[in-house]
Amino acid sequence: MENNRRDFIRKTVLGTAALTVGGVLPGFSARSYRNIAGANERINVGVMGVNSRGNALAQNFAMQKNCNLVYVSDVDTRAAAKCIDAVAKITGSKPKAMPDFRNALEAKDMDAIVVATPDHWHAPAALLAMKAGKHVYLEKPCSHSPEEGEILVQAAAKYGQVLQMGNQRRSWPNVVEAIKEIQSGAIGKPYFGKSWYTNKRGPIGVGKEAAVPDWLNWDLWQGPAPRRAFKDNYVHYNWHWFWHWGTGEALNNGTHMVDLLRWGMEVDYPNRVSSNGGRFHYQDDWETPDTQVISLDFPGGFTMTWEGRSCNARSIEGSSVGAQFFGDKGSVLITGGNGYTLFDVSGKELKKVVDKDKIDPRNAASPAQQLDALHIQNFFDGILKGAQLHSDIDSGHKSTLLVQLGNIAQRVGHSLDIDPQNGHIVKDRDAEKLWSRRYEKGWEMKL
């Protein structure tokens, strides 16, 4: 019976609510939101990592009419309990706590898993899930190192599972419309793109070795990463700023905007990458840059930049986050919301598309819940209909790689020459050492 159900899940045609690409979404109430799509069969989903963003994603998935959230996995017992209660308020039933996600992967009644863990877990967890026959919704970045991204591309092809990266803006209707404007020639050749993210983060201090809290499974939290002693300033968010587990602001937030630039400019791999910046604002344990400018040159006369300022919140173009395309006939500005502005080459505004729904790009947990539901439904369409994903792993890896190369250039202290055919670093022994990462023995990624 279970095999028949899983076969039905893969073959059933999902009747989704009609959503016109380019139109403005109607407002959804919390009660009606779960009915964004209808289906005769629900997809059984588990969520791995539910402290912040994962908790928001779990609730968003639970709101979908064609989803049944069955498992919650987290190494923090407090976070798991909080998420389970939140989901129960939405659905009327509690998902089962499965502290070790590997046990959830063995469950026959789970079809897909959402991975919203720290970055060092993203690719290893996605690979294990696909090998277990599960579809994967993978938060950005898709990998901790370029090699991991390449392994995921190969794994998706080998195991035939649906793997969607959480570049949610690829499903936001007015952002899609903006990209179509660019690709249709509205601004001519989009030869230059700039993107940015700003925030005002405080110091993280100097950590001290401490006893592991009784609510935390520190060994499983580290998982594939080589073991380190627990310190009191690692968990939960500050791991982002340590190279051992995190990838800095560039992959934490830059991935989204650089992905828009790559999408709109229709480029894949660069031929040269540079990065400037550093940790300037505080004297603490923070290792990644708090101020960084990544520049990428592509064949055919295309250039893009990403500017990240983690500790100075002064906005650009009136927005804390954004991407702007400059062409020989005009420009297009996409800020943090589901909208865009089209200008002529002299800077005169020609068209402005806005969405009434408020979006908070600095909200780390849930900046745009209703719009993100469209990305979730596209993931479900990929499972049920074989529909084309808005952010498949091939695309997700390419966009992640751009900012990874920027971080590598930053760490080695010089520009990188890149093979534009495959994105690999050319003849640079020091940089090539950062193409992959070391793993705790027994946790190596193997196809």
CATH code, domain carrying 292: 3.30.360.10
Q: Are residues 156 and 233 in the same domain?
A: no
Number of residues that this document lists for the chain: 447
d(CA 333, CA 364): 23
Does residue 122 sit in the same domain as residue 183? no
Residue 199 and residue 109 share a domain: no
Is residue 280 in a domain?
Answer: yes
Q: What is the pLDDT along the chain (447 residues), one digit of tens a residue?
A: 445 555 545 444 333 333 333 333 444 444 444 444 444 579 999 999 999 999 999 999 999 999 999 999 999 999 999 999 999 999 999 999 999 999 999 999 999 999 999 999 999 999 999 999 999 999 999 999 999 999 999 999 999 999 999 999 999 999 999 999 999 999 999 999 999 999 999 999 999 999 999 999 999 999 999 999 999 999 999 999 999 999 999 999 999 999 999 999 999 999 999 999 999 999 999 999 999 999 999 999 999 999 999 999 999 999 999 999 999 999 999 999 999 999 999 999 999 999 877 666 666 555 578 889 999 999 999 999 999 999 999 999 999 999 999 999 999 999 999 999 999 999 999 999 999 999 999 999 999
Residues 163 and 179 in one domain: no
Q: Is residue 369 part of a domain?
A: no
- Whether 311 is in a domain gets the answer yes
Please state whether beta strands 340-344 and 349-353 pair in parallel, antiparallel, or not at all (unpaired). Answer: antiparallel
The pair of structure tokens assigned to 415 is: 């520009």
Residues 321 and 400 in one domain: yes
Is the domain of 98 the same as that of 232?
no
As a whole number of angstroms, the distance between CA 372 and CA 60 comes to 8
Are residues 47 and 187 located together in one domain of the fold? Answer: no
Measured CA to CA, the distance from residue 330 to residue 345 in angstroms comes to 4
Q: Residue 236's domain spans which residues?
A: 174-206+218-363+394-432
CA-CA-CA-CA dihedral for 304, 310, 316, 320, to nearest 10: 110
The reply to whether 257 and 309 lie within a common domain is yes
In a domain, residue 23? The reply is yes
How many domains in the chain? 2
Which is nearest to 234 in space by CA: 251, 223, 250, 221? 221
CATH number (domain holding residue 48): 3.40.50.720
Could you tell me if 250 and 161 lie in one domain? no
Q: Domain for residue 443, yes or no?
A: no
Assigned domain for 389 exists: no
Is residue 410 one of the residues assigned to a domain? yes
Helix, strand or coil for residue 6?
Answer: helix
Does residue 446 lie within any of the structural domains?
no
Q: Are residue 193 and residue 280 in the same domain, yes or no?
A: yes
Domain shared by 264 and 162, yes or no: no
Instruction: Assess whether 162 and 179 both reside in one domain.
Output: no
